[in-house]
Amino acid sequence: MRFHYDTTYRDAQRLIRYRADWLAYGALFLLLLAAPWILPRYYVGEVSFIFIMCIASLGLMVLTGFTGQISFGHAAFLAIGAYAHVWFISHDVPFVISIIAASALSGAVGLMIGLPAIRVSGLHLAMVTLAFSIILEQVIGRWKSVTGGYTGVPVPSPSILGIDLGGLRPFYFLCLAILLIVFVALINLTRGSIGRALVGVRDSETAAHALGIWVGGTKVLAFVISASVTGVAGALMAHHVQHVTPEGFSLLLSLELVMMVVIGGLGSLRGAILGAIFISLLPTFISKLKPMLPAAVSGQFGLEIFVFGLVLALFILFEPMGLNGRWLKLKALFQSFPLYRRDTFRRGKTYMKSERYR
């Protein structure tokens, strides 16, 4: 059993509180540092890509998991981040400034897409984001002078202060460093007053108004933060694919991002990361599995999409709290052994859904 012992309110703010956690996170960090020398070359690039997907998934989590706003067009922000970044560095803007500018531009577009969220929500908002991503794909395809149209544009190798970071290992560490920065910044955001406001707007707009939260502004802010973070992922993705084309930011990618946050566990940053790892590895896993399946199954067109759908359905049915929920249950099991009760995580009956004034 473990209890919280905090002697000051400052203790309670510490992110890592127990020695066991320090050891676990320290070991994980060392493993991540050593990984490029342990893993086969091919997988180093794959893991970098997973880091990028983690950043994008964290971006969508702020929007969908914390404020409860659904976006079916988040690949569009990846695209904006990617094309803007490529354009900037092709015009000799230094890498760090370029990625920040690309992120800011993506955030500015997020602001415009977020404005309708003040009036519409739920499915209607999801349609707005979907329409936006479809329109953006057309714009990218036609705006040849900047985007290279459907043939795309080559991406210069990333370099900071004259040091080339385009190699497998340097790029791995670049992605890892940016992921860590984004992750820590979002942890800070979600544990502070803005993060609480995001959750407040999700759970009860009525109460949020009454407590002084500017509900419309908070929803738009969530869009801006989400789009900026996703834009950073887009910039890195450009380097990963080395040649950006509009097809790289399809509707399917948007749906994969949605699956990452849903399967990971809505409302949890750790969930965003677990979901991104899971969904990114799924195709590899399926292709490994294929030879073991009867030819009638493995030869089917669309097997991958089918498995994706199946996994999503199973999670929604059996583990609505996602991978993060699973994680918390396992952790609780170990910490409270042998006192764990199965009902610890059962949700209580929800009393009276109120009439909402909105």
Partner 1 sequence: MSGFFAVEHLELSFGGVHAIRDLSFSVEQGEVFAIIGPNGAGKTSVFNVITRVFDPSAGRVVFQGNDITAVARHQVVNHGIARTFQNIELFEGATVLQNLLLGRHRFPHGNILAQLCWLPNVRRAEEESRARVEDVIELLDLAPYRNALVAGLPYGVRKVVELARALATQPKLLLLDEPASGLNPEEARDLAFWIDDIKHDLGITVIMVEHDMSLVAEAADRVLCMNMGEAIATGSAAEVRAHPDVLAAYLGT
3-state secondary structure of 154: strand
- Mind spelling out the 3-state secondary structure of 121-145? CHHHHHHHHHHHHHHHHHHHHHCHH
- State which residue, 19 or 349, has the beta carbon closest to partner 1: 349
Give the type of residue at 313: A
> Phi, psi (5° rounding) for residue 243?
-150, 110
- State which residue, 209 or 326, has the beta carbon closest to partner 1: 209
> Phi, psi (5° rounding) for residue 61?
-60, -40
261-299: burial string, b at 16+ Cβ within 10 Å, e else: bbbbbbbbbbbbbbbbbbbbebeeebeeeeeeeeeeeee
Q: What's the min distance (Å) between Cβ of 9 and partner 1?
A: 4
- State which residue, 301 or 351, has the beta carbon closest to partner 1: 351
Q: What's the min distance (Å) between Cβ of 203 and partner 1?
A: 4
Joined together, the tokens standing for residue 341 give 């009760």
Binding footprint of partner 1 on the chain (CB under 8 A) = 4, 9-10, 12-13, 185, 188-189, 192-197, 199-200, 202-204, 206-215, 221, 267, 346-348, 350-355, 357
Joined together, the tokens standing for residue 250 give 């399809």
Q: What's the min distance (Å) between Cβ of 263 and partner 1?
A: 18
Omega cis (within 30) before 283 = no
H or E segment at 165? none
- What is the Cα–Cα distance from 81 to 237, expressed in whole angstroms? 9
Q: What's the min distance (Å) between Cβ of 22 and partner 1?
A: 18
Q: What's the min distance (Å) between Cβ of 205 and partner 1?
A: 9
Q: What's the min distance (Å) between Cβ of 96 and partner 1?
A: 17
- State which residue, 119 or 347, has the beta carbon closest to partner 1: 347
Dihedral through CA 259, CA 262, CA 265, CA 271, nearest 10?
Answer: 30
Q: What's the min distance (Å) between Cβ of 159 and partner 1?
A: 26
- State which residue, 4 or 91, has the beta carbon closest to partner 1: 4
On the 0-12 / 13-18 / 19+ scale of CB atoms within 10 A, 341 is exposed
- State which residue, 140 or 321, has the beta carbon closest to partner 1: 321
The residues near 33 (Cβ < 8 Å, ≥ 6 apart) are none
- State which residue, 21 or 203, has the beta carbon closest to partner 1: 203
Q: What's the min distance (Å) between Cβ of 331 and partner 1?
A: 15
Sign for the pseudo-dihedral over CA of 127, 133, 139, 141 = negative
H or E segment at 31? helix 19-38
- State which residue, 92 or 355, has the beta carbon closest to partner 1: 355
H or E segment at 163? strand 163-164
Q: What's the min distance (Å) between Cβ of 305 and partner 1?
A: 31
H or E segment at 245? none
- State which residue, 199 or 251, has the beta carbon closest to partner 1: 199
